[in-house]
Amino acid sequence: MDTKTIFMVFFTITILVSHACPSLSQKDVDDELLVNPGREMEALTEISPTSQDYNIYMLGKLPPKYLLYLNSCGDKMGPSGDECIDDVLREILTNKHASKECCVEVVKTGKECYMEIQKFIFRLYQFKRFASQVSFRTNQVWDRCSSEVETPLSSHHSAIELS
């Protein structure tokens, strides 16, 4: 066999194997942890003088109306809002599901507010390095929470409408 034939056979086999077993040809990056739970996750929330200066500067550049909007979004989450934001952030970065209670708060807040809060968080110095990787996961968390929360409510509303 000549080199060209060997190359064509190898190429054909590679194509067939990658179509038959797609998991061999690509890695599913959506399931990978961006941050290890525990100490690495805790270290992200530690504020250094550099990160604090950056965050203050970044906040100063945002329009006041936008900051008011974000504040009202946070208020919609109620008294456990900060904990829920942390819970959701942990899910986005470590794949550890946020609690059902937080999902209720997230859904109550609404998708637009939820997405803006997440967008803002990933502008902060501690989290900006993940900004390009979290868009899909942010949507996944919303989808999971909304389906988990709205499914029982939908069946409850249909039962009320039928009576």
Q: What is the pLDDT of residues 18-47, one digit of tens each?
A: 544 444 444 444 557 766 666 666 666 666
Is 28 in a helix, a strand, or coil? coil
Is the Cβ–Cβ distance between 94 and 45 less than 8 Å?
no
Q: What is the pLDDT of residues 135-156, one digit of tens each?
A: 899 999 999 999 988 754 444 4
CB atoms near residue 72 (< 10 Å): 11
Please tell me whether the overall predicted TM-score, pTM, comes out greater than 0.95 for this model: no
CA torsion sign for 17, 21, 22, 28 is: negative
Q: In terms of Cα–Cα distance, which of 151, 90, 84 is closest to 114?
A: 84
Is the Cβ–Cβ distance between 34 and 90 less than 8 Å?
no
Domain boundaries, the chain: 50-150
Cβ-proximal residues to 100 (8 Å cutoff; 6+ apart), any chain? 148, 149
